[in-house]
Structure 1
Amino acid sequence: MRWDRFFDDLEDQLASEWEAERAALDTEAERLRLSRVTLRERFTVLASTEAAAVPISIELSDRSVLRCRVTGVGADWVALQADEGGRDAVLIPFASILSVGMPHVEVLRSARPAPRPTNLSDRMTFGFMLRDLVRRRVGVAIGLVHGRALTGTIDRAGADHLDLALHDRGAPRRNDVVTGHRLVPLTALAWVRFDDPAVR
């Protein structure tokens, strides 16, 4: 009888040690997974349907803070819908993000494994999105990293800069309303805001 109890105790102790070792391995595997998570992956989770309704705040390099919802993610940018209820959409290059504020539950949720990205979203760079705005002739407001904002229409988007025809926001780009032109390096952009036709 005593030997049976001894072996049962030994078996319970081994099982307990095995569970502790497995838990430690699981914890280490999770730490390793988290060490590889990128900001892009976290935004991808935030853009998913269950989290997309939660507003977040993003502090940018121009010291502005946007309260918004994540609507899309590309290779090096995030698309946001302003939370003020307007029709403005905002493109933000990851390089201009200083911090992201959100409820703790969303912090935890965003650290979960992200959905598999499509090859198309991997290739859609910030420059690609700017070239789409050129093609659509959309009026924009752009925020520069030092805090100044410019309005107009992007005439061309090069590899590392854009050409902006300056005019009042909301006015169509016509030669008689253009007040000047600027070449703006992409590294100087904190955000690009434009009227989102999908929001009416």
Structure 2
Amino acid sequence: MRWDSLFDDLESQLEHELNSDDSDLRAEEYRHRLGRLSLRERIATFSSQNGRSREPLTIDLVTGETIVALPQTFGRDWFSADLVSAGESSGAALVLLDAIAAVIVPKPAVTRSLDVADVPDSEPRLTDRIGIAFALRDLCRRRSFVQVHCLNGVSAVYSGTIDRVGRDHFDLAVHESGVPRRERNVAHQRLIPFGQLAYLRL
């Protein structure tokens, strides 16, 4: 009987140690996965990817502005979003990831922001490799009217049409909203480095 009791005790200890090792291994894998997460990936969890519904995020920008955005499509260094004001859509925007000072995530949504698919061997989608220059060239081709919010202050907002896009900057033909981009309506050309761009409102 005493031997049976001893073996039962040893078996119980071994099972406890094995379970403890499994728990430690899972905890270490979780910490390792979190250590690889990027801000871009966490924001992307609030978009409609993977069949989930979009959720609005409050984003503080380095300009001092705060926007509420429903993330949509993600490029390499930017993402598109629908802006929300007073609970209603207030236009679309392209937001530069480098212009983000903080993202305010409601407590119930923190778990969702950590729920990033862990598939390191998968090929990135084409849009994942598209830089801001490509997106700006598309807006230039479409002759879209834009509001450009720059990093040199909250009041640094310039409106107009993108005329051309260089390697590290773009030309904005500055003119008022509601008037076509005609030479007589253009006040001046503003050359804006990509590094000074916070977001574009469309």
Provide TM-score, normalisation by structure 1: 0.90
**Per-residue deviation at 1:120?**
0.7
Gaps of 5+ in 2: none
**Aligned partner of 2:21: which letter?**
E
**Per-residue deviation at 1:122?**
2.3
Structure 2 residue 92 is matched with structure 1 residue 96: no
Aligned to 1:2: 2
CA contact (8 A) 1:139 1:152 kept: yes
Aligned to 1:197: none
Aligned CA RMSD, in angstroms, stands at 1.6
Aligned to 2:146: 140
**Aligned partner of 1:135: which letter?**
R
Q: Quickly say closer, same or farther: Cα 1:76–1:117, change in 2 above 3 A.
A: farther
**Per-residue deviation at 1:40?**
1.7
CA–CA distance in structure 2, aligned partners of residues 109 and 187 of structure 1 = 31
Question: Once structures 1 and 2 are overlaid, which stretch shifts more, 170-179 or 152-161?
Answer: 170-179
Aligned to 2:73: 72
**Per-residue deviation at 1:102?**
1.6
**Per-residue deviation at 1:83?**
1.2
**Per-residue deviation at 1:43?**
2.2
Deviations 1:136-161 (A, max 9, x none): 11000000102210000000111110
**Per-residue deviation at 1:171?**
2.3
Aligned to 1:57: 58
**Per-residue deviation at 1:106?**
2.2
Aligned to 1:198: none
CA–CA distance in structure 2, aligned partners of residues 179 and 23 of structure 1 = 65
Aligned to 1:126: 132
CA contact (8 A) 1:153 1:173 kept: yes
CA–CA distance in structure 1, aligned partners of residues 177 and 32 of structure 2 = 47
The alignment covers a number of residue pairs equal to 193
